[in-house]
Amino acid sequence: MSELLQDPFVQSSALPLAVSLILVGALHLLRRPLAAAGIAAGFLVVFAMVVGLPALPPPSSMGKLFWSSAIGLLLGVAADAAGLRGRAASAGLAAWLAGSLLWIALPALDSVAAVVSFAILLATAAWIAFARASQTHGSARGESPTAPAASLLALALAVGGTALIGSSASIAQMALALAASAGGFLLWNWPVERHGWGLSGRVATGIAVLLACVLTLFTQAQTAVLLLALPALLAGHVSRFVPQGHGPVGRAASSAAVTVVAVLPALVAIGAAYALTGGEASPY
HSE-up of 23 (CA within 13 Å, CB side)?
24
Question: pLDDT per residue over 196-230, tens digit each?
Answer: 899 999 999 999 999 999 999 999 888 899 999 99
Please determine, for residue 143, whether its predicted confidence score (pLDDT) is greater than 90. no
Q: What is the pLDDT of residue 239?
A: 67
Cα 186 to Cα 48, 97, 194: the distances in Å are: 23, 24, 10
Distance (Å, rounded) from C-alpha 136 to C-alpha 143?
Answer: 6
Q: Is the dihedral of CA 236, 238, 243, 249 positive or negative?
A: negative
Q: Is the pLDDT of residue 141 over 90?
A: no
Which amino acid is located at 183 in the chain? Answer: G
Using 50, 70 and 90 to split pLDDT, how confident is the model at 134?
very low
* Contact by Cβ (8 Å): 226, 162: yes
Which residues on neighbouring strands pair with residue 148, listed in sequence order? none
User: Which pLDDT band, with edges at 50, 70 and 90, does 10 fall under?
Assistant: confident
Residue 260's contacts (CB-CB under 8 Å, 6 or more residues apart) are: none
Is 102 or 167 the better-scoring residue by pLDDT? Answer: 102
Residue 242 has what pLDDT? 67
Handedness of CA 198, 211, 224, 124 (dihedral sign): positive
**Is the pLDDT confidence value at 125 over 80?**
yes
pLDDT at residue 202, rounded to an integer: 96
pLDDT at 240 over 90: no
Pairwise pLDDT comparison (256 vs 22), residue with the higher score: 22
CA dist list (Å): 60 to 12, 187, 225? 21, 34, 25
Q: Which residue has the higher pLDDT, 110 or 283?
A: 110
pLDDT for the residue 166: 87
pLDDT, position 256: 87
Q: What pLDDT does 241 receive?
A: 66
Residue 136: per-residue pLDDT: 35
Residue 261 has pLDDT above 60, yes or no: yes
> What is the secondary structure of 248-280 as a DSSP string?
HHHHHHHHHHHHHHHHHHHHHHHHHHHHHTTS-
pLDDT at 248: 60
**Amino acid (one-letter) located at 36:** A
Alpha helices by DSSP H, listed for the chain, are 2-5, 8-9, 15-30, 37-50, 61-82, 86-105, 112-130, 146-165, 169-188, 198-218, 235-238, 247-276
Mean pLDDT score across all residues of the chain: 88
